[in-house]
Structure 1
Amino acid sequence: MAIVKMSNFGLFTFDSDREKLLHELQKFGYVHFTDLKEQSAYLEEGLETLEIPYEVSEVEERIQSVKFAMDLLKRYDDRETGMKAMIKGKNSFTFEELEKKVAQFDYEPVIDKFRELTRKIDLISQEELKEKAAMEELRPWRNLNYDVRLFRDFQFSEVFTGTIPKKLMEPLKEALGTLEETYLETLSEGKDEAYVVGLTSKREKEDFNEILRNHSFTTVNLSVSGTPEEDMKKRKESLEKMKEEKKKLQAEIKSMAGHLARFEEVYEYLLNLRLRYQAENNFLRTGSVNVIEGYIPTDKTDAFRKAVEKTQEGAYYLELAEAKKEDVSVPILLKNGKFAEAFESLTTMYSLPTYDGIDPTPLFAPFFFAFFGMMIGDWGYGIILMVLTGVALKIANLEKGQRLMMRFLFYLSFSTIAWGLMFGTFFGAAFPGFALINPSTEYQKLLIVSIAFGGIHLFYALGIKAYLAIRDGKPLDALYDVGFWYMALMGAIVFLLTMVLGNLPEVLGTVSLVVMVIGMVGIILTGGRENETAVGKLAGGMYSLYGISGYIGDFVSYSRLMALGLSGGFIATAINMMVGMLFDMGIPGMIAGVIVFLGGQAFNLFLSALSAYVHTSRLTYVEFFGKFYDGGGKPFKLFRNKSKYINVE
């Protein structure tokens, strides 16, 4: 259980067998390659790095082409979404099944067809923009009910079309009063300008021109056949034809939307193919021989050996040995029982253990289970959480990560129910006959319970630290770093209790004081033992003893177990009070009350669960892990791409 035992391998194989080898190892999956370029000893011996194969760029192009097709088809995807999609889940394939399905799908001609269709759609869209722009330019001239081409045939007069700032229209009209053979008409007005048409004789043309220039006239040449209204109508008809043509092209694409699932399979296959080629970056070579190193789980060595043998037509050399415990470069895989496995994401989120370390998951899981439920503390909420997650686990085809999260919440629902029964709370309502502790009135008792749990949590963490020291052959470190702290802390706690309670035997106070002093003296004498000088050792010991103030802060931190439980309970009670007031208002109030109850309690459940998760994680990471756990391990990288659209087994 916990940290999976690893074996490291060294493999010498002919370059000609590399592609078949990588293909078989990817089917095997559990291979973590070592980047040999980082090992200078090999390079100094004359080994060369493998060049990135040209196939990588080729596969990258194919991935982009497939992604183009997927993005196009997603616009027309009518598959189930939301809850229905979660229940149905992703399709699952073995690696061999995925390869066969992809081989049966000649997708490149389909992509070429998509490119041609989208090219035509783009061209039509460009023409649409041009037509719409032309219509917008003509819109202000719609009131010009004359064929614009006739303006060019006048022998004794001339027509001007253009715009003038609206604020200059009045001065313009006054200036035109001096001309007898000139006419100006305003066809329409925009925000800041007026669209005008002017008619003048050849004799007054120059004067008219001068007046227009003086009033900021801008000429607009109307390139239309017929009237502007007729031209706009023709363009509108043209737009309708373009719209219909686009619909036909889009309908043709939509008719192939069923290919989306197959393209997703191709996409996942190509990502794995790219990973396979990129893996060659980790290898070295000498002549025609490749040098490959990495790690595999020890319990899979036989399957790994068979995968290698299956691909080697020529001679090869394979060396397998169990990884050394002190080797911090060994990648980490965790393996726990069904209960602890649901909590592994919390360890991963913080930091994986090193190979010579300890997996903290099964150690903190029971405490996380208890603390989470205590912070919510309502058996009504627990039942809702249990039913929702239980149904999801039963009927939904969830991927591994989703299933672990549902199972995580499913387990926590039982803790929530248990604490809710102890507190006697059901959706914020009290059930006095059930309650062992009433949070709303016995908050001092609840605080004592919270601090007591904190003490157990902290002393348990120190006990793990002692175990690790003894395991590593350092029993004195266990005494110095844990034993003396046990004596100091437990002695101090008992001594304070004898002072506060007063009815405890006097000898108990004396013994606890002696134990506390012995522990403190031991911390002072050993806390700075790594320093070289006597003064340094003593100063280091005094500083270590000062760390007792940190323990006081740690104990206080566990008051959040009480605080979160009370806050969620008070919010639920407030919601119930509002519902009660609404119910007193008759049938409309009852309807509103039901809505407020369901919405309010659902929101409070979400808020309480989120707060419980965050604060329980904080107690785990800071107070618990801070006593014994460093982490720092690197994750084992499966020789598989993480799937997004399907499950590859």
Structure 2
Amino acid sequence: MAIVKMSEFSLFAFDVEKEALLKTLQNFGYVHFSNLTEEFGDESLGLEPVKVPHKLTEIEEKLSKVSSAVSILSKYEQKESSIKAMMEGNKTYSFEELEKIVLDIDYIALADEILSLSKEKDDIVQKIEHLRTEIDELKPWQYLGASIETLSNTYFSDITIGTVSRKLKEKLIEIMSEAENGYYEIINEDKNNLYLLLISHKSDTDDLIDSLKNLSFTKVKLQIKLTPDEEIKIREEKIKKYELEIEEIENNLKERLDYLENLKLAFDYLNNLKLRFSVSENFIKTEKVVFIKGYIPTSKKDEFEKSVREALGNVYYLEIKEAEKENPKVPILLENSNYAETFESLTGMYALPKYSEIDPTPFLAPFYTLFFGMMAADVGYGLIMLLGTFFALKKFKLSDAQRKSIKFFYYLSFSVIIWGFIYGSLFGGVVKIPGLIDPANDYNTVLLMSIAFGVIHVMFALGLKAYMLIRDRKILDALFDVGFWYFALIGSIVFLLSTMGIIGGVIKTISLVMMIVGMLGIVATGGRSSGSIGGKLAGGFYSLYGITGYIGDFVSYSRLMALGLAGGFIAGAINMIAGMVSGLGVVGFILAIVIFIAGQLFNLGLSLLGAYVHSIRLIYVEFFGKFYEGGGPKFNLLRAKPKYINIK
């Protein structure tokens, strides 16, 4: 239950052996490379960055082709239900198995076929779209019963077609009624335009057109020979022909669905192959020798040495030493119990610990579980979580990440059930069960209990800070930064309780002394880093002022009561509404069932969301804020995260 102990390695090998080495190390997996191009940037030393091989460009091109082919074929795949898909899960391969399968597949030729068919289909689709655009242009003129050639100008007259705004129809009629040598006919109209046929004497055409321009007249020139209706039919026939061609192409694509699984394997393989070549950017080299540096888990030192020996024989130089504790570049890999590891995502969302810190995960896990259960407290909700997650863990074939997420809520369900029994809540009281506390009436008890949990939580965080300081042999710092605060806070809390008559006698005097000693200690040591006496005192008093922040922290835990009460009241309100409706006969009874199920599911989601977010808030702000900084880099395995399979 800690940060995995790391060892730093330095490796010199011949550059020509680099690819074989990386292939072997990728099978090993647990290696994190340091970026030496940043560390040794001076080429005057005879060292230069390893150039990314041309092969990487080829891999990226192949990856792009395979990715596009998978995307195209996936459109025709019959999707299984999400539950069935989760039950079957992704297949698992070792990296060696994956490589062997993929290298026996001519996946590029297959991808090229699919891309060629897809391009052919896209070209036809564009032709169809072009034809449909032409049809849309011709449709307003489909009632023009003559071909465009027939409507050519005569010796004495001009024939013009065009559009006028429909809003100006009356103006059109007025203008055309005044035209002595002009004739017009409205061929069609829509909500915006009138489609006109104009016949005019050649001597009057220009004047007529100019007068119509005031009506937004726009000339139209149709590039067709037959009537618009005949031209539309010709294009519709072409579209039908093209659609049959598309159908044939799609059938050809569907026939290749059996190869989709192979293409997915090729995608995940190429993704890892790309990573294998791209990590070379971290290395530096001379003319013939490459220098590689990085980190491995100390527990895998022998396995790492064996992998290097397999790839390079005896022609290499390898040095492995324990990673320096204070080195901020040491990558972080966490190792926890089955229970605690499901909470590692919470630590990761905040920040991974530095190598010099402690892993907070096993310490946050029980508190998070406690807080989550207290806020979502209901036996019914907990049982739904328990049964749902248990079924998923037993029946679904999950990836490691999915399994951890499900187990996270599996463990939390027990806390929700326990707190549901403490509060006597089963779906908001739909069935009465005896509880130790009635939160609706004993809310003061729940509030005091919430704040008490907060005091314990914060004190525990300070204890972890003290442990880290003592571990680093900073005993006085532990006394000054934690010990005096323990005295001040515990003394203040106990003294406050004694003034309320809850505690009396000699304890009151002891608590007063503790409080004073703690406060004086904080004032005396809080500004110790300052160079002057005035600065030390000012810093000390400012540190003591921080006690107000602790008060705010303790009060913040009242949300444990507030969210628990809110969820219970909403559930109770849903039950009340369902009960009122149930008395309205058979229809009312059915409606009551619907209201109960839908309402309780809604409240379940709301309660779980609230408990999830606010528990995180208490951990990140009140808990981590006292001892934890974080900021360690993540240990990057020499494995790309697979998309379609699991790699063991």
Query: In which range does the TM-score fall when normalised by the shorter chain?
Result: over 0.9
- Shift of the alpha carbon at 1:155? 7.3
Aligned-pair CA distance for 1:429: 0.3
Determine the structure 2 residue equivalent to 1:636: 635
Alignment of 1:398-437 (within 5 A): 398-429=398-429, 434-437=434-437
- Give SS of 2:339's match: helix
Equivalent position amino acid for 2:645 in 1:
I
2:118 maps to 118
Separation in 1, partners of 2:31, 2:337: 23
Task: Quickly say closer, same or farther: Cα 1:129–1:326, change in 2 above 3 A.
Answer: closer
User: CA 1:522/1:224 → structure 2, altered by over 3 Å: closer, same or farther?
Assistant: closer
Structure 2 gaps of 5+ residues are: none
Aligned ranges 1:545-624 → 2 under 5 Å:
545-624=544-623
Report deviation, 1:462: 1.4
Give 1:213 deviation, angstroms: 4.2
1:466 aligns with 2:469: no
DSSP 3-state at the match of 1:343? helix
Partner in structure 2 of residue 92 of structure 1: 92
1:159-174 residue pairs with structure 2 within 5 A?
159-166=159-166, 167=168, 168-174=171-177
Deviation at 1:599, TM superposition (A): 1.1
What pairs with 1:148-159 in structure 2 (closer than 5 Å)?
A: 148-152=148-152, 159=159
Counterpart contact for 1:454–1:555, Cα < 8 Å? yes
Aligned to 1:358: 358
In 2, the alpha carbon distance for the partners of 1:327 and 1:131 equals 67
1:518-540: CA deviation from partner (whole Å, max 9, x where unpaired): 12112222222222222222222
Instruction: Give distance in 1, aligned partners of 2:522 and 2:230.
Output: 99
How far apart are 1:122 and its partner, in Å?
2.6
- In structure 2, do the counterparts of structure 1 residues 218 and 441 end up closer, same or farther at CA, with 3 Å as the change threshold? closer
Shift of 1:127: 2.2
Kept in 1, the 8 Å contact 2:283–2:290? The answer is: yes
Tell me whether 37-46 or 504-513 shows the greater mean CA deviation.
37-46
Name the residue aligned to 2:231: 231
When normalised by structure 1's length, the TM-score is: 0.95
Q: State the alpha-carbon separation in 2 of the partners of residues 493 and 153 from structure 1.
A: 104
Alignment check: 8 A CA contact 2:334 2:359 kept: yes
Query: Are positions 1:262 and 2:259 aligned together?
Result: no
Question: What displacement does 1:196 show?
Answer: 2.9
Distance across 2 between alignment mates of 1:42 and 1:298: 31
Structure 1 residues 535-589: Cα deviation after superposition (integer angstroms, max 9, x where no partner)? 2222222111111111111110111111110011111111111111110111111
Greater CA deviation, 537-546 or 637-646? 537-546
SS of corresponding position for 1:124: helix
Q: CA deviation at 1:436?
A: 0.7
Q: Deviations over 1:339-366 (max 9, x none)?
A: 1111111111111111121111111211
CA distance in 2, matches of 1:432, 1:173: 87
1:174 maps to a residue whose letter is: S
Paired AA for residue 514 in structure 2: V
* Distance change >3 Å, CA 187–CA 301, structure 1 → 2: same
Q: Is the 8 A contact 1:14 1:314 kept in 2?
A: no
Give the Å deviation of 1:83: 2.0
SS in 2 for 1:328: coil
Separation in structure 2 between the aligned mates of residue 158 and residue 622 of structure 1, nearest angstrom: 84
Alpha-carbon distance between aligned partners in 1 of 2:341 and 2:153, rounded to the nearest angstrom: 90
C-alpha deviation, 1:288, in angstroms: 0.6
Could you tell me how far apart the structure 2 residues matched to 1:510 and 1:164 are?
Answer: 99
Change (3 A) 1:482 1:241: same
Displacement after TM superposition at 1:218 (Å): 4.7
Give, as a single letter, the amino acid of the residue that structure 2 aligns with 1:647: N
CA contact (8 A) 2:40 2:47 kept: no
1:205 is aligned to 2:202: yes
Task: Kindly indicate whether residue 184 of structure 2 is the aligned counterpart of residue 187 of structure 1.
Answer: no
How many Å separate the matches in 1 of 2:46 and 2:485?
Answer: 55
Structure 1 alignment gaps of length 5 or more: none
Q: Structure 2 vs 1, CA of residues 612 and 143 (structure 1 numbering), >3 Å: closer, same or farther?
A: same
AA partner of residue 32 (structure 2)? H
Q: Distance in 1 between matches of 2:538 and 2:148?
A: 101
Structure-2 separation of matches of 1:61 and 1:572 = 56
1:81 is displaced (CA, Å) by 4.2
Whether 1:278 and 2:281 are equivalent positions in the alignment is: no
Q: Give, in angstroms, the shift of residue 163 of structure 1.
A: 3.6
Residues 63-118 of structure 1: per-residue CA shift (max 9 Å, x gap):
11112112211221213242222222112111011111211221222222223223
Task: Check conservation: 2:142, 2:228, Cα contact below 8 A.
Answer: yes
**Is residue 424–residue 430 contact of structure 1 (8 Å, CA) maintained in 2?**
no
Q: Is contact 2:102-2:269 (8 Å) kept? A: yes
- How far apart in 2 are the matches of 1:221 and 1:43? 69
The alignment partner of 1:195 has SS state of strand
Residue 445 of structure 2 aligns to a residue in which SS? helix
Per-residue deviation at 1:154? 6.4
Aligned to 2:396: 396
Q: Does 1:448 align with 2:451?
A: no
Please tell me whether the aligned partners of residues 17 and 313 of structure 1 are also in contact (alpha carbons under 8 angstroms). Answer: no
In structure 2, the CA distance between the partners of 1:227 and 1:565, relative to structure 1 (3 Å rule), is: same
Q: Do the aligned partners of residues 219 and 489 (structure 1) sit closer, same or farther apart at CA in structure 2, a change above 3 Å counting?
A: closer
Relative to 1, partners in 2 of residues 1:188 and 1:476: Cα closer, same or farther, differing over 3 Å? Answer: same
Alignment of 1:314-325 (within 5 A): 315-325=315-325
| 8 Å Cα contact 1:424-1:431 kept in structure 2 | no
Rounded Cα–Cα distance in structure 1 between residues aligned with 2:459 and 2:192: 80
SS across alignment from 1:464 = helix
What's the counterpart of residue 527 of structure 2? 528
Equivalent-residue separation in structure 2 for 1:164 and 1:480 (angstroms): 89
Q: Give the length in aligned residue pairs.
A: 642
**How far did residue 326 of structure 1 move?**
2.5
